[in-house]
Structure 1
């Protein structure tokens, strides 16, 4: 028996590859296993190679595995592209339809199963993915009945006959594969899981659920990979609480509509990826100048321009901090797990209203679309804080004739009272040009300085729990590993291997990117002999931010990967060993 294994299914987009992985992983999740899944797919609706790699373990995993145990192939390209990941005892399960050929330079075993033929005999070739699931079942020595609940959940609305046929396809795949395996049935049998119920979700779903829990009632947005699932989730959920999603004509409209909704007192946000955020920059600046709350989700992908729409990258960091023209206060959060994506999203709306400024939730494709096991969420941790929003007109002083409410009153903490439009004694101007305390345009030098200073006082003392996730078992480390977003899991695995090599390693994962938590990071940086900053971009953007805010550039090395694929544990392990 094994504690964990890695399973991958591949073929052409539109062949049911995603549903194959979904059914396989859902059933194992319900048995109590921990899972981590990552999809490789082309930027097209149909066609082009796609695969779904799923890691199954009896312990928490948050990274793509180095190698591969089982490869399920629906075409020869899947074998040719992925076989190099298989270790010497790996297994290829391939559809007989395409007459599979095993490359000469692999010792993995090839098993040819008639996926398509068996499915066609049962009524439709579309069920070939279920035959493949059944074949995988035999390798793991899993009872096909463990898939019954999942099949009923997915196909139940189509009737009992469809459910029965899909279950029969799984059983046919199981028995056919079992015959070929002979005495090797269960060669990759997993140790028994704990049976506990956990969620299994992608980061985008966690962000959307976090927005819902935070009280969002409007999401204007324009669909774009890899952010669209946030829209899709809320399209289904928001109407049940009186909210809605509006698909706007572009990202500019989405951002400005969200600002307008927040101005009206409704919690609203939008989500996009790099190209969309480029279009939103002027609106983000408007949020900063008018001091209207605005939450924006940026799911990073390969850039620039259209770039690599469906591939991993972390190259928007500088743009999210410095992309707007002029100086405005801004908060940039970077969750590193699906759980954090939920909790950080709920907190983003509180920060946006308390500090009356734009808050950007920075994700990346691997976190946004990678599916992982999530411990039950604690909704008691969710709180709603609306800052200085005046909820009752009786709290406002009577205005003298021709006088206006001081919406931009200069205050000690920089945050001014905020009112809902139409509230008695709350009349004021709102404009994107510099203005005085009532919002009227003003170019006076003294007013300009007073308003600029006031705006930036708002973010001098950000209260954000755990701005850095710290794993520091060593008082003085030989090496400090630093990252952000989805690299947390792979860094943690590399850290374990480096420790086994006798290297003292600490790990800091930055969750508040701006304002940068320099004081929290500085002790770890100063106590480390060497520092490796790990990120998915070509210019070492996080490393440069750390150098600007903390210093110690002389002992800092940038480890960067920007080919569109996620870091693997062995890559970080080997690159870090080269530093010694």
Structure 2
């Protein structure tokens, strides 16, 4: 595996350069994982983009960097400690220097000078991309083809200028290669039919495959990409994206569309979720299907909009006043995000309830290679649940929309269905929909709403598990931490520590007994989560299964865990336990 990184000020084309390297590596047959650190501003402030390349799937970042492209001195200062014998390529324009104890070879290239010669200083990132191709041993034409496709809408002049800049950087770097240290080998590529996608991309594709045709939303980092992408896709299939005035309007419009029979969704992050909670309760009370995507970020309030966190979990499950049951599912990879986005609409209509997809910023925004076959289409047919048509109501004098049934799921109708009209209200109601405050009816209605969603565990596996059932250490997580745990598993196994990875696919209703059964033989279970209050551990404790084998590992500084962090803490845990015994 090889780690490449570029850093500079926001607005200098850092993202573009990272994208070029990612797509070039993918086209050459390598697996990639690309992630970045950026501030909550449009321009200015340090940003960096790191790309891992390998001939096996990569699911998380890493601490070390092999190649660092530094567009300013600050990049070297902030990231130099990640180097351990690698190469730093810096712009000669700022007379770069290596800080003490930076273990790397510094190569000073005239990036700014060559960019000006190519036509504009803004092409400095293209010079850097060309130099990177030479270091990585990539054919320049692979990068040039991607650049031509990316900039074709701006005209042939822009395309040719950027191609020339790539060539200049490539040739300048070739002249330095003879004196450079040897970099880790990428090995032989693994050709395949793969795409480069983010979790947000997969959410859109899954929603399209599910037949979603209405998305109402309000822009918010890091969920905005979902709305923007569907704005491009929906017109191709007769769908509509509505940019609403706020999150309250977004969720209520989606609920209204679901009530009318359309498959509808909204997408938001923590602050927007807070505003949506009362309406989520309305959908729960009226048993109306709706899908909500929460791409979690660091809170509370505005918090840190561009930093990842998993601190909305309890709000997702219990948020709002009263007890409003909902289903909460949690994908852990781009592939699972596609799967869950599709399945969420089936679940919402089958159980007639809100379904929330809990992702996080890292899963939503970071790019990964994905096997095309995993997102080619749904694995299960569309399920619209108990939906009565006019022929099902023949001879019915009064449709009982909220009838008590054995499984708690009552047949529903769509507006306009003959003899299928009913009253839908957020006030407690009797089976026919009319307002009722009868104590026995209230108890039965609450039980109906609470118990019907328990059937989800029969329809989908609530947990997944990889590794020996009697592992010495099981790393348990959700969302983007699962990929981190999988990379940590590889490292721990190399140290001779038997390791497994488990992850929750359903958060509500919480699969307590399933967790207990699956993890029964594990010797130690480390619960890895990106929040301060150990919210997954809280759910386990509430279910009565957080016994002495369980240990919490939390991080909440806005920086994602690295596999090395999990390895270190797992090793320390085992050492402490050995000392005690």
Q: Distance in 1 between matches of 2:507 and 2:233?
A: 30
Residue 493 of structure 1 and its aligned partner are, at CA, apart by 1.9
Residue 526 of structure 1 and its aligned partner are, at CA, apart by 2.6
Q: Distance in 2 between matches of 1:262 and 1:310?
A: 31
SS in structure 1 opposite 2:255? helix
Residue 152 of structure 1 and its aligned partner are, at CA, apart by 1.6
Partner of 1:135: 131
Q: Distance in 1 between matches of 2:181 and 2:66?
A: 14
Residue 167 of structure 1 and its aligned partner are, at CA, apart by 1.4
Q: Distance in 2 between matches of 1:421 and 1:84?
A: 63
Tell me whether 1:233 sits opposite 2:233 in the alignment.
no
SS in structure 1 opposite 2:175? helix
Q: Distance in 2 between matches of 1:121 and 1:499?
A: 51
Q: Distance in 1 between matches of 2:460 and 2:425?
A: 34
Partner of 2:525: 531
Partner of 2:490: 496
Q: TM-score, normalised by structure 1?
A: 0.96
1:451-508, Cα deviation, whole Å (9 max, x unpaired): 11222231122134332110131x4232222111111121112222223333222221
Residue 213 of structure 1 and its aligned partner are, at CA, apart by 0.9
Partner of 1:389: 387
SS in structure 1 opposite 2:304? coil
What is the correspondence of 1:550-565 to structure 2 with a 5 Å cutoff? Answer: 550-565=544-559
Residue 146 of structure 1 and its aligned partner are, at CA, apart by 1.5
Tell me whether 1:350 sits opposite 2:346 in the alignment.
yes
Unaligned runs of 5+ in 2: 575-581
Name which of 135, 153, 157 aligns with 2:153. 157
1:74-95, Cα deviation, whole Å (9 max, x unpaired): 11111111111111x1111112
Q: Which region of structure 1 is more displaced relative to structure 2, 125-134 or 156-165? A: 156-165
Partner of 1:39: 36
Q: Distance in 2 between matches of 1:231 and 1:58?
A: 33
**1:130/1:188 CA distance change after superposition, 3 Å:** farther
Partner of 2:51: 54
Name which of 442, 446, 465 aligns with 2:440. 446
Contact 1:140 1:189 in 2 (8 A): no
Q: Distance in 1 between matches of 2:270 and 2:440?
A: 37
Name which of 401, 419, 433 aligns with 1:425. 419
Root mean square deviation, CA, Å = 1.5
Q: Which region of structure 1 is more displaced relative to structure 2, 346-355 or 519-528? A: 519-528
Q: Distance in 2 between matches of 1:356 and 1:577?
A: 46
Residue 440 of structure 1 and its aligned partner are, at CA, apart by 0.7
What is the correspondence of 1:432-511 to structure 2 with a 5 Å cutoff? Answer: 432-462=426-456, 463-473=458-468, 475-511=469-505
What is the correspondence of 1:217-256 to structure 2 with a 5 Å cutoff? Answer: 217-256=213-252
Q: Distance in 1 between matches of 2:273 and 2:363?
A: 18
SS in structure 2 opposite 1:360? strand
SS in structure 2 opposite 1:310? strand
Name which of 411, 415, 420 aligns with 2:405. 411
Residue 185 of structure 1 and its aligned partner are, at CA, apart by 8.4
**1:183/1:101 CA distance change after superposition, 3 Å:** closer
Q: TM-score, normalised by structure 2?
A: 0.96
What is the correspondence of 1:209-224 to structure 2 with a 5 Å cutoff? Answer: 209-224=205-220
Q: Which region of structure 1 is more displaced relative to structure 2, 119-128 or 537-546? A: 119-128
Name which of 513, 530, 554 aligns with 1:519. 513
